[in-house]
Structure 1
Amino acid sequence: MKKKLNCVLLIDDDLGTNFINQMLIKKADITENVQTVLNGKEAIDFITNKGKYEKAGNVFPKPMLTLLDINMPVMDGWEFLEIYKNLEIHQKGEIIIVMLTTSLNPHDKKRAENFSDVSGFKNKPLTLEIIKDIMQKHFPDYL
């Protein structure tokens, strides 16, 4: 039996996109746990066990893979990354963050490269091929 990721976190304000991405991740069979949040603020709350995601103790979810959209209300992907980089290591774990966006702006890709926490930049829509590429690059032991 192959190893699976503990959790994949989808950060995107589009419910349809989240639904399709969940179905693709399920089909790829890389995890049993897909969490979706609608903006960067909810993602920070999820990662740090705050707000509606509050849990007792110091056990943090530490999703192994996060797919991050750029343009969202409340807190966009860039604002999320600014806050995320200052989180405690015991909250972050070793999360692989891949930006998944409709943006074709080369400035956005260049900007993403300036964040050490960003491991990749992919254009929507998510496909099984993109998932396979992410898994081969970042999680070869899970194939």
Structure 2
Amino acid sequence: MKRKLNCIMLVDDSEADNFLNQMYINDMDCCKSVLAMQSAKDALKFLEGETNGSSPDLILLDINMPGMNGWEFLEEYKKLKIARQKKIEVIVLSTSQNPRDRERAEMIQEISEFKAKPLSKTMLTDIFQTHFPNYM
């Protein structure tokens, strides 16, 4: 029996993207739970209050969101106790075609990778092989 991640968090304002991404993740049976957050602020609130061990192992983060965007999320995320205590893989998943966004992501230590939407089963498998090889 393969090991499963505890939790994958989706941070994306698109309900449709969250639905499809959650479906791919559930089909792969690679984690115990999936949290879909439609705003960066909601994701931060969850992470700030996380004490019961259900913190995510992986965050798939959109950068172009209304209100607080992904870059602003990362600035606040860096300040959280959980970000300093546990290595959470943060992968930007975006429709952005701007090369500056990719360059900016490469400069941020907390970002493990920058991927172009849409998420696919192949991309998810690649993420696991790269960042969670003991879970495949």
TM-score (norm 2): 0.94
1:75-130 CA-to-partner distances (Å, cap 9, x unmatched) read 11000000111111477621100000000111000001111000000000000111
Whole-angstrom CA distance in 1 between matches of 2:121 and 2:11: 18
- Equivalent of 2:87, from 81, 94, 103? 94
Q: Indicate if the aligned counterparts of 1:67 and 1:97 stay in contact, CA closer than 8 A.
A: yes
Q: Which residue is equivalent to 1:16?
A: 16
AA partner of residue 37 (structure 2): V
AA partner of residue 75 (structure 1): M
CA RMSD of aligned residues (A): 1.5
AA partner of residue 79 (structure 1): E
Whole-angstrom CA distance in 2 between matches of 1:43 and 1:92: 17
- Equivalent of 2:135, from 117, 120, 142? 142
Q: Which residue is equivalent to 2:36?
A: 36
Q: Which has the higher strand share?
A: 2
Whole-angstrom CA distance in 1 between matches of 2:55 and 2:112: 16
- Aligned structure 1 segments of 4 or more residues deviating by more than 6 angstroms: none
Is it true that 1:69 corresponds to 2:65 in the alignment?
no
Q: 1:47 to 1:61 in 2, by over 3 A?
A: farther
Q: Which residue is equivalent to 2:7?
A: 7
AA partner of residue 80 (structure 1): F
Whole-angstrom CA distance in 2 between matches of 1:9 and 1:78: 16
Q: Indicate if the aligned counterparts of 2:10 and 2:37 stay in contact, CA closer than 8 A.
A: yes
Q: Indicate if the aligned counterparts of 2:78 and 2:84 stay in contact, CA closer than 8 A.
A: no
Q: 1:90 to 1:101 in 2, by over 3 A?
A: closer
Which secondary structure state, in structure 2, belongs to the residue aligned with residue 46 of structure 1? helix
Q: Which residue is equivalent to 2:105?
A: 112
Which secondary structure state, in structure 2, belongs to the residue aligned with residue 126 of structure 1? coil
TM-score (norm 1): 0.89
Q: 1:47 to 1:65 in 2, by over 3 A?
A: same
AA partner of residue 28 (structure 1): M
Q: Indicate if the aligned counterparts of 1:12 and 1:39 stay in contact, CA closer than 8 A.
A: yes
Which secondary structure state, in structure 1, belongs to the residue aligned with residue 6 of structure 2? coil
Q: Indicate if the aligned counterparts of 2:9 and 2:60 stay in contact, CA closer than 8 A.
A: yes
Is it true that 1:123 corresponds to 2:129 in the alignment?
no
How many aligned residue pairs are there?
136
Q: 1:35 to 1:84 in 2, by over 3 A?
A: same
